[in-house]
Amino acid sequence: MFFKVTKKSNIIKFSLSFLLLVFGLVSCFEDAEPDGIIRGTGRVPAVFSFEPDTAEPGQEVTLTGKGFTNTTSVTFNGTEGTIISNTDDTVVVTVPEGATSGKIAITTNTTPTFRGDTGVFVENFTIFIPGAPIVNEISPIAGQPGDLITLTGSQMNAVTSLKVGDVEVNDLTVSKDEITFTIAEGSLPGLNTLEFVSSVGPSNTNTEENPFFVYEILESITETFDADENVLSHGFDREVAFSGVNTVLDPSAPFIPESIDNNFYYVGGTSDTSDSGAFIGLIGNSQKELGFYADFFNNEESQDITNVYFNMDVNFGDVPVDYTGELAGIRMRFDVGYDLDSDGSSTDEFMEYRPTLEDLDEKGFVANADGWYSISIRMDQFENSGPRGNVGTWDVYQLEDLTRIAIAARRGYDGPFALSIDNISITKGRPINPIQ
């Protein structure tokens, strides 16, 4: 059968071709993701660079990139500038009064033929305020609420108030080249800017040049093994011949390391994979009731598993040269209120991190001369779940339901083994042991 081509069918063919062309152009545009761009949905303006990289309020800045057609707004850390001109690949904008250092965001308008969006350049733009305080050093670069912080630099005597993020500091003292303050309760854990108000107006620190962290420690789990009573201890295990604080160990125990910091806890003996598999020498604290740790995980920042860290100094003893397997198992346990695999038991409700030498090396952790690793592991890296079928995930478990922690050796070989641990803590906002 033959079909007669009509005017209507030509219109349909043209419309379909036009739609495919538009779709193809948009698709090609959206597939291009230049490095350094945080992309949203739709047709995102891509900022490649800005010139200059430091400017005063009132000064013009030129942005180069792609997709700037119909630009409606350019903001400097949230404060909108004045657009002087723009083409598809260039925008010239005036830095507004009151702007502070931070991200540049550019927004385009949606029209019948153009789908707009907002693109944010990942590098911070520095606003220079004549006469504003200049911070050369922050010491220390991290602290808990109540800690004393010292800033050194210049032009500091004009500062009248200071915030960490959005929270006013306590005990502010100011001189020409130094500021001291204490971090106030309620300061959010994580990376923060320091927000100044001075006689010349508002200004702030650049988190790339002057990083500053607020963090909190879960005190009830912190363990250094230097006190008379310890939070963590070891139970019975046939493969463990020696266990306890190093000061009371039998000197014949295998692979006892030099101390990294006063006392440490040790388990050692002979691994027998035919007895208990690879998991041996469990060290843990007593089970707590549901909600015991909930006050620590009481806000959005502390429930974010990428903002919470398990910190520990660990020594794995002498490991066979050709062994590439797991060395330990660190468990976050949820013994109350969960039975994800419906086996009638809650003792297998946990998330576990299992380090290998290769994994620690990839993360940037390096052992000292005595074999000690100082590690900090984000909670999202605890991936191995206890329940059968791997049904245990962070989508199900809630940190506020944590009931205890456990640490054990994991050795997939038979023979002498040792595991030594020290300075254990859980923090939110910052790792104790940043990657080297």
Which two structure tokens, joined as six digits, stand for 40? 């949203």
| Within a domain: 1 | no
Counting DSSP H helices and E strands in the chain, the numbers are: 4, 34
| Within a domain: 435 | no
Is the pLDDT reported for residue 406 higher than 50?
A: yes
One domain, residues 246 and 264: yes
One domain, residues 42 and 94: yes
Instruction: Tell me how far apart the alpha carbons of residues 8 and 367 are, in angstroms, rounded to a whole number.
Output: 75
- The band of 235, judged by pLDDT with boundaries at 50, 70 and 90, is confident
- Which residue do the tokens 């329940």 mark? 387
One domain, residues 246 and 177: no
| Within a domain: 228 | yes
Give residue 301's pLDDT.
65
- The band of 12, judged by pLDDT with boundaries at 50, 70 and 90, is very low
Instruction: Tell me how far apart the alpha carbons of residues 174 and 196 are, in angstroms, rounded to a whole number.
Output: 12
Note the pLDDT tens digit of each residue in 51-91. 998 888 899 999 998 888 888 999 998 899 999 998 989 99
In sequence order, the β-bridge partners of residue 391 are: none
Instruction: Tell me how far apart the alpha carbons of residues 311 and 332 are, in angstroms, rounded to a whole number.
Output: 13
Instruction: Tell me how far apart the alpha carbons of residues 279 and 101 are, in angstroms, rounded to a whole number.
Output: 50
How many distinct structural domains can be found in the chain?
Answer: 3
Is the pLDDT reported for residue 17 higher than 80?
A: no
One domain, residues 282 and 384: yes
| Within a domain: 433 | no
Which domain does 408 fall in, by range? 217-428
Contact between 221 and 231 (Cβ < 8 Å):
yes
| Within a domain: 18 | no
Note the pLDDT tens digit of each residue in 251-295. 999 999 999 999 999 999 999 888 766 778 889 999 999 999 999
One domain, residues 104 and 153: no
Nearest to 370 by CA among 257, 224, 254: 257
Residue 314: CB partners within 8 Å, gap ≥ 6? 328, 355, 372, 373, 375, 419, 420, 421, 422
One domain, residues 189 and 246: no
| Within a domain: 4 | no
The domain spanning residue 105 has which CATH number? 2.60.40.10
Neighbours of 72 (CB within 10 A): 14
The domain spanning residue 399 has which CATH number? 2.60.120.260
One domain, residues 93 and 46: yes
Contact between 94 and 59 (Cβ < 8 Å):
yes
| Within a domain: 2 | no
Last residue of a domain, one of 214, 237, 265: 214
Cα 436 from chain centroid (whole Å): 15
Is the pLDDT reported for residue 31 higher than 60?
A: no
Please report which helix (H) or strand (E) contains residue 301, including its range: helix 300-303
One domain, residues 209 and 273: no
One domain, residues 231 and 282: yes
Last residue of a domain, one of 161, 187, 214: 214
| Within a domain: 6 | no
One domain, residues 222 and 210: no
Model confidence pTM above 0.75? no
Average pLDDT over residues 318-335: 95
Contact between 150 and 210 (Cβ < 8 Å):
no
One domain, residues 202 and 226: no
Residue 389, φ and ψ in degrees, nearest 5: 85, 5
One domain, residues 253 and 205: no
Last residue of a domain, one of 89, 111, 127: 127
Distances (CA, A) of 381 to 310, 376, 436: 10, 10, 18
